[in-house]
Structure 1
Amino acid sequence: MKTTFLSLICMLALVTSSCSDKKKTQEQDALVESSIEALDQEQTIQEKSDNTMVYVYYFHGKQRCKTCLAVGDLTKKTVEGAFASNELVKFIEVDTSEKQYSDLVEKYEVTWNALIIAKGDDSINLTEDAFATALTTPKVLEELIVEQVNKKL
């Protein structure tokens, strides 16, 4: 995180010193400022996640079957519906082929699709239940997700 921040500061210094066009400088300053805000927000989320945040991760690859789509859609709908007013619960869809998620994929040892609910280092893998119920008995999966999230709150 510190390396990213220092790189951002160096980039800002380089852009500021090499560009004399005022409009470009203002646009670049705004871009750098928004990048810093995004980093601050990411750090805040990471700090919260250690102790208080409950994340519902839906991991998937580029191609998804009917069941995969159902698990993702139902999970998102359930989390956003049941916990809409709770800032401590967040649904995150993770495309395992994107490098930005490689740490999560490695942490939870995901090799294919997965549904994982986590709070700090405490997590539960609901993948088997999710894929067994998403199409045939979606209400069972909804209840399971709500139950497991509530246990972590």
Structure 2
Amino acid sequence: MKQVLMMFVAVLLFTACGNGKENKADVNEATTESSVNSSKVVSVTNADPVTVYVYYFHGKQRCKTCIAVQKFTQEAVEQMYGDNQKVQFLEILTEEAANKELVERYGVTWNALIVAKGDDHIDITQNAFANPAGVKEMLKSEVDRRL
């Protein structure tokens, strides 16, 4: 019985975040469709200390929840702070060398959602992934606190 349970857990882990070809197509399609500002590179040294950054860190392969968290986060930032230049949403691909400094600064090992202004930051990844639709309220609270 233990072996069957362990096999089930192993299969679940290996398939959870987009290891299948079908999920890769979904990820590529979702990434292509989104208007994410991933070309803008912000390093730790050139980040504006008065701007609140909403960083969404991710790898190349993502599951549907990962994509949903990014979508809800980006939409919430655009909707609530679209006219405020002091709030920026940035998608950060963790594998890119240009993003290494940010990845190391925030200790990102997988996907992460971080709200930061200068040295004041909070990692809301766990809450965001537990409730992707509730990201808007979490972001509003954390961004407003830093404005």
Q: SS state of the match for residue 142, structure 2? A: helix
Show the counterpart of 1:46: 46
- 1:147 paired with 2:145, answer no
Task: State the Cα distance separating 1:57 from its structure 2 match.
Answer: 0.1
SS at match of 2:100: helix
| 2:66 corresponds to 1:72 | no
**Correspondence list, 1:91-106, <5 A:** 91-106=89-104
| 3-state SS of 2:145 partner | helix
Bigger radius of gyration among the two: 1
Separation of aligned partners in 2, 1:100 and 1:74 = 25
CA drift of 1:46 comes to 2.4
Give the Å deviation of 1:101.
Answer: 0.4
TM-score, length-scaled by structure 1:
0.66
Task: State how many pairs are aligned.
Answer: 105
**Equivalent of 1:82 in 59, 80, 83:** 80
How far apart, CA to CA, are the structure 1 residues paired with 2:135 and 2:70? Answer: 11
Match of 1:6 in 2: none
| 1:67-110 per-position Cα deviation (integer Å, ceiling 9, x unaligned) | 00001111011001100110000000000011110000000000
Structure (1 or 2) with the greater helix fraction:
1
**TM-score w.r.t. structure 2 length?**
0.68
Helix, strand or coil for the counterpart of 1:46?
A: coil
Q: After superposition, where does 1:117-132 map in structure 2 within 5 Å?
A: 117-132=115-130
What 5-or-longer segments of structure 2 have no aligned partner? 1-41
Match of 1:113 in 2: 111
| Structure 1 stretches lacking a partner, 5+ long | 1-41
1:125 CA drift (Å) = 0.3
